Structure 1
Amino acid sequence: MRAVVVTSFGGPEVVAVVETAVPEPAARQVRIKVSGAALNPVDAGVRAGVFGGAGKALGLGWDVAGTVDATGVATGWTVGDEVVALSYGTAKPFGTHAEYVIVDADAVAKAPASVDAVHAATIPLNALTAAQALDLLALEPGQSLLVSGAAGAVGGYAVQLAAHRGISVTGLARAADEEFVRSLGADRFVSGAVAAGSVDAVLDAAVLGESALEWVRDGGTYVGVIPQAHPASVRGVRTDAVEVSADGARLAELVALVDAGVLTARVAETYALDEAAKAHARLAEGGLRGRLVLVP
């Protein structure tokens, strides 16, 4: 099979497509024939060496949508099932940017019925990150939340999920994105200055750090999206950062929300697997609304 890897760190030019044996699932694992796999900033981080791992080939790709192609024992899945899954890890030999991928059975959920596999491939990492970040915030209906990067992939899901829970959401994004962010369910929109101490909590999907912390009231909550990189607590504000975990049951709940029209899966562009380096270059340019998706 073909798979996307990096064997040295750098820019998009280090991304390579290699030929390797089709992997075999062990007990409680499934093999998925990939139909679509999103490209995320974490993949660019692996490529650039942010997470280490020098001296060995590192596979890229965390999100997958496709068809169960083989199973180990005790999986609960059947060959032919249409699924989505999260393949967690920054130091794996092969990721979801491949023709086939092995994942743990409990990381898998049934694919949404309302969108195609390319759109479904944008759900696992970003929607799980948003949902698990909201869990850390532990807000009650009626409390106020500011989501930075509200037009982005994680931020957009966070706005929709929070609004669905009855939380009062302010979306922070570029002025040109106001109509879109409000369409996601934001009660308020800002593109510039935010009053200090004006919200109960911040979900900092734009990675603004200490400046975003200032917007939280005394005793409120701040959650970032880069593990262990959140700012130190001040004024009694609890600070934390989400580290996404694979959770097939939770992913199934999010898929159901996609099918119910609560969550919107967004695709910016698609690339063939052999064009992975071009996709990385496009990601580096920025300005995307939705994810890039590789299609084997």
Structure 2
Amino acid sequence: MRVIGVADFGAPEALREFDVDERHAGPGEVRLRVRAAAVNPTDTVARSGVYAARRGDTGSPHVPGMDAAGDIDEVGPHTETDLAVGDAVMAVVVPSGSHGAYSEHLVVPAESAARIPAGAGYAAASTLPMNGLTARLALDRMALEPGATLAVTGAAGAFGGYMVQLAKAEGLRVIADAAEKDEQLVRDLGADTVVRRGDDVAARILDVEPGGVDALADGAVQDELVGPAVRDGGRIATVRGFQGDEETLKRGVVVHPVLVVDYHRAQAELDGLRAQAEDGALSLRVARTFPADQAAEAHRLLEAGGVRGRLVLEF
């Protein structure tokens, strides 16, 4: 089967097609004929070799991709699921070695897949699982009461946009950051107040909420720079493993590093995101689609910055 990956880690041009042995669904698994795979910043990190070095992966090729959508063409033996061959589904993927979403066929645990939102195409559906589940996990970990104030950095991005929309659906007040060109987008996502993004975003948030916000979701990965925006005893969700700086922790702020691998079998939550997308509470934003063999160009465009919505590879 065809996959897109790298034999030698490096720049976007390292990505190319490979033929690997076809995989089949085992017990507890389903196989997708992949139609679309979203391109995320974590994929560019994987392409560079950072994750493989951490895990000690030595195989080749290394195939990125954490989001896929397609049609189920196999259900493994002894698999308890209401999904069936022919169902159009989306799935969250934990890549390892040659197992990643940039593949013609993809085998995942049945609990990692859910039906795509009604009316959504494969490309749009592929943008939801990884970022949507990460946002869902962040809110679940912070456990805020309705009426609480949440700040979101990186609000124009995929994770940040889902954070804004999910927070509003749960009755939270949202202060979000944006560049001037993205301000209307972030307002349309539902933010109550928009402040200018940048290294001084904490001061801008404090101008709106002088006592500090109840919680903050740091989609912009600004780490210690945003701690001052949170009140004593508040909460922060981080997405790249940051566990808080001394000054922030000293004030009793609880930091929740959130990793989607903790929700990669959270089928009920993924299906809940599907329902919210169908109801219009969540926006599925596709910036541009590419044939799968143009993955290198998609990575170059993403790394150049300024992409709003997700780039998607189509198989």
- TM-score by structure 2 length? 0.90
- Structure 1 segment 111-130 matched on structure 2, within 5 A: 111-130=116-135
Matching residue of 2:111: 106
SS at match of 2:50: coil
Quote the offset at 1:16 in angstroms: 1.9
The reply to whether residue 151 of structure 1 matches residue 165 of structure 2 is no
Matching residue of 2:229: 215
The reply to whether residue 200 of structure 1 matches residue 214 of structure 2 is yes
Counterpart of 1:194 in structure 2: which amino acid? I
Quote the offset at 1:22 in angstroms: 1.9
The reply to whether residue 281 of structure 1 matches residue 300 of structure 2 is yes
Quote the offset at 1:55 in angstroms: 3.4
Quote the offset at 1:271 in angstroms: 0.8
Moved more, 193-202 or 126-135: 193-202
Quote the offset at 1:198 in angstroms: 2.1
Cα distance in 2 for partners of 1:75, 1:87 equals 19
Matching residue of 1:42: 42
RMSD of aligned C-alpha atoms? 1.4
Offset from partner CA, 1:209-233 (integer Å, 9 cap, x none): 1111110011111111113554452
Cα distance in 1 for partners of 2:103, 2:120 equals 21
Moved more, 102-111 or 1-10: 1-10
Contact 1:8 1:54 (8 Å CA) reproduced: no
Contact 2:88 2:115 (8 Å CA) reproduced: yes
The reply to whether residue 56 of structure 1 matches residue 72 of structure 2 is no
Contact 1:30 1:75 (8 Å CA) reproduced: no
Alignment gaps of 5+ in structure 2:
198-203
Counterpart of 2:251 in structure 1: which amino acid? R
Offset from partner CA, 1:68-126 (integer Å, 9 cap, x none): 0111112422110111110113x332211111100111111011112111100000001
Cα distance in 2 for partners of 1:267, 1:257 equals 17
| CA spacing shift, 1:125–1:216, aligned 2, 3 Å | same
**How high is the sequence identity, in percent, across the aligned residues?**
41
Cα distance in 2 for partners of 1:237, 1:230 equals 9
Higher helix proportion (structure 1 or 2): 2
Cα distance in 1 for partners of 2:222, 2:291 equals 33
Alignment gaps of 5+ in structure 1:
none
Counterpart of 2:305 in structure 1: which amino acid? G
- Structure 1 segment 7-22 matched on structure 2, within 5 A: 7-22=7-22
- Structure 1 segment 1-296 matched on structure 2, within 5 A: 1-51=1-51, 52=53, 53=56, 55-57=58-60, 58-73=62-77, 74-76=79-81, 77-89=83-95, 91-192=96-197, 193-195=204-206, 197-228=211-242, 230-232=244-246, 233-244=249-260, 245-246=263-264, 247-296=266-315
Offset from partner CA, 1:105-155 (integer Å, 9 cap, x none): 111101111211110000000100111011111111111000000110000
Counterpart of 2:271 in structure 1: which amino acid? A
SS at match of 1:59: coil
Contact 2:175 2:205 (8 Å CA) reproduced: no
Matching residue of 2:201: none
| CA spacing shift, 1:7–1:188, aligned 2, 3 Å | same
Cα distance in 2 for partners of 1:6, 1:270 equals 21
Moved more, 55-64 or 227-236: 227-236
Counterpart of 1:5 in structure 2: which amino acid? G
Q: How many residues matched?
A: 295
Offset from partner CA, 1:189-240 (integer Å, 9 cap, x none): 1005332652111100000111111100111111111135544523111112
Cα distance in 2 for partners of 1:197, 1:280 equals 41
Moved more, 150-159 or 80-89: 80-89
Cα distance in 2 for partners of 1:16, 1:197 equals 51
Counterpart of 2:94 in structure 1: which amino acid? Y
Cα distance in 2 for partners of 1:229, 1:290 equals 28
Contact 1:65 1:117 (8 Å CA) reproduced: yes
Cα distance in 2 for partners of 1:258, 1:114 equals 10
